[in-house]
Amino acid sequence: MNKDAADQELHHLLLQAFPAPERRDRGDWERVLRLANARPRLVPTIPAFHRKPRSRKLVLALATFVVVGAGAAVAAATGNLNGGPGQLSPGVGSVPVIEGSASDVLSTLASRLPLVSNPSTVSETVPPSSDPDATGSAVSGLAVRCDLLVDGTQGSAISQALWERDLFMGAVRDEFAARGFGTVIDGDATLVTPNGTQEDAGGGVSIGVRTDQVFDAIPSDIASTISANASSIGLSSVQVKTMQVLQDVLVINAVSDSPATDVAALQKQGGLQFLLGQPPMNFEGVYLQIDDNSGNPVYITDTAPRDGGGSVWADPSLGLNQGFLTSPSPQK
Amino acid sequence: VRDPDPQLVQIEAAYRSNYGHFLHVATAITGEAELAADAVQDAFARAIARRDTYRGTGSLEGWLWRILVNAARDVVARRRDAVESEPRAAAVTTASSSREVEGVRAAVARLPERQRLVLFLRYFADLDYLAIGQALDISPGTVGATLHSAHDALRRRIEEVQIG
């Protein structure tokens, strides 16, 4: 797809998601004039610094709810594009506590994620608008930083690292909120390869989801459920592991002899929800990687609902990529 | 009979000819058409009251868009204040929204604010990089880079909805 076509497709999708409001009138100019007359006329001789400073407010995401997980694994997410934080988890309450200082929380969480290292936080202020009439447009808080240890900087080589980034950012945000260590407003990760190459992996944290999400424990029979369901669509060599972040997350690996057929079957059946036998949002995170029988990753999908996230990567040979939504990117 | 204020005439012309674009972008920022309509009116009231501060160093259009964006952001901030002081249950997503559309919204909502604003101004207002840069107080080069980053981010975040 050429650039113009991709641009048009993006335009089309955005218009679908944010349609132009239907209004019969063309705006009420008379009301604008009345409002204007009610305002003091500002002339250049009035210096901006005479204005009383106003409190700075958080203005980041409008809000979010996220549909994550492959296939038809539609999150039972509630959320609100108009500002209310969404809930992706089955419950809310007290998140698990990591003892110690803020630094201890960072190092503990990083130690639980094998590809995350060198965590830190810095104070960050999003500069206020230069418009003297603007209010509440700046924000101060903490930005979380970390390195991601990867073998490459594109495609499947970074998928698990980006998942761990999302898990890490979400967990830090929620734990800091619970412990009163500060409001995390941003995140930034750096891909670091064995030869020392560094590349920005993007970041950001979702403020569109609640910070008190509580997820289910991993059921003891989840491995047998996943194996059975995976086998039914042709996947083999299924491995299921758990890993603790704030709560436990699932890491699933499987092999396919016929990737295009098997992945299509997985998507048709409902993706992660089919494999798990329940919505992936029940858990703090799920990572699924399907390799071909030569050991090459062909399909990866993950969820990280504390950060409101989830993604899919598919090898182009599967023919699943469509339109402008094709190339995996480290950027959030 | 007084001579018409030329700046006021220009502002009114911009309002009348581009009202739909202003309202669309404001709706995308605020999330509600009614709030957006208020933001557009407030923005133009600001523009009228402050028209003497427009120095003509950039286009009037860019100057107006800058005021509009800030007015819409103020609406969001004020609403957030209200939400913070009076917690409410999270609203349920609209049943009529398709999974794909919700996915796109979610992906856009997760973008950094600057990327979101650049997308809205590029695709809903059809502004060029120069005007977007003036509206957001960034260089045209930064506009291009920001738009590129937004595209990349959306690719990754919406991909699952497309192929799911």
Q: What is the pLDDT along chain A (332 residues), one digit of tens a residue?
A: 555 677 777 788 888 888 888 764 556 787 788 777 655 444 332 222 222 222 222 222 212 222 223 222 223 333 333 335 677 889 999 999 999 999 999 999 999 999 999 999 988 775 554 444 444 456 678 889 999 998 887 778 888 998 999 899 999 999 999 999 999 887 888 888 888 888 777 666 766 678 999 999 999 999 999 999 999 999 999 999 999 999 999 999 999 999 999 998 998 888 899 999 999 989 999 999 999 999 989 988 888 889 876 777 778 777 664 322 223 344 43
Q: Which chain B residue shows the shortest CA-CA distance from A17?
A: B101
Residues 266-295 of A with CB under 8 A from B: 267, 271
Residue ranges of alpha helices (H) inside A145-210 are 156-179
Distance from CA of A22 to the nearest CA of B (A): 8
Q: How many Å apart are CA B76 and CA B82, to the nearest integer?
A: 10
Mutation choice for A interface testing from B114, B159, B161 by most A CBs within 10 A = B159
DSSP-assigned beta bridge partners for residue A199: A191
Q: How many other C-beta atoms are found inside a 10 Å radius of the C-beta of residue B138?
A: 17
- Which chain A residues have a beta carbon less than 8 Å from that of B77? 57-59, 135-137
Q: Which chain A residue shows the shortest CA-CA distance from B28?
A: A18
Q: What is the DSSP letter of A317?
A: G
A92-114 pLDDT tens trace: 999 999 999 999 999 999 999 99
Q: What is the DSSP letter of A322?
A: B
Q: What is the DSSP letter of B49?
A: H
Of the CA atoms within 13 Å of residue B113, those in its CB half-sphere come to 25
Q: Is any Cβ of chain B less than 8 angstroms from the Cβ of A5?
A: no
Q: Is the pTM of this model over 0.95?
A: no
A156 and A300 in contact (C-beta within 8 Å)?
Answer: yes
Query: If you compute the radius of gyration of chain A from its CA atoms, what whole number of angstroms results?
Result: 23
Where does residue A45 rank: exposed (0-12), middle (13-18), buried (19+ CB within 10 A)? exposed
- Which chain B residues have a beta carbon less than 8 Å from that of A13? 100, 104, 158
**ipTM exceeds 0.85:** no
Q: Phi and psi dihedrals of A301, rounded to 5?
A: -140, 150
Q: Do A32 and B123 touch (CB under 8 A)?
A: no
Q: How many Å apart are CA B99 and CA B34, to the nearest integer?
A: 25
B28 and A13 in contact (C-beta within 8 Å)?
Answer: no
Report residue A181 as tokens.
């260590």
Distance from CA of A194 to the nearest CA of B (A): 25
Q: Is any Cβ of chain B less than 8 angstroms from the Cβ of A36?
A: yes
CB-nearest to A21 from B33, B44, B105 is B33
Q: How many Å apart are CA B162 and CA B164, to the nearest integer?
A: 6
Q: Residue A312 contacts by C-beta under 8 Å, 6 or more apart in sequence?
A: A70, A299, A300, A301, B159, B160, B163, B164
Q: Phi and psi dihedrals of B63, rounded to 5?
A: -65, -45
CA-to-CA dists, residue B84 to A82, A95, B26, angstroms: 13, 21, 22
Where does residue A191 rank: exposed (0-12), middle (13-18), buried (19+ CB within 10 A)? buried
Q: Is any Cβ of chain B less than 8 angstroms from the Cβ of A71?
A: yes
Per-residue pLDDT, A257:
94
Q: How many Å apart are CA B29 and CA B113, to the nearest integer?
A: 10
Q: Is any Cβ of chain B less than 8 angstroms from the Cβ of A66?
A: yes
Q: How many Å apart are CA A117 and CA A172, to the nearest integer?
A: 14
The Cα angle at residue B128 between residues B118 and B39, in degrees rounded to 5: 50
Per-residue pLDDT, A207:
64
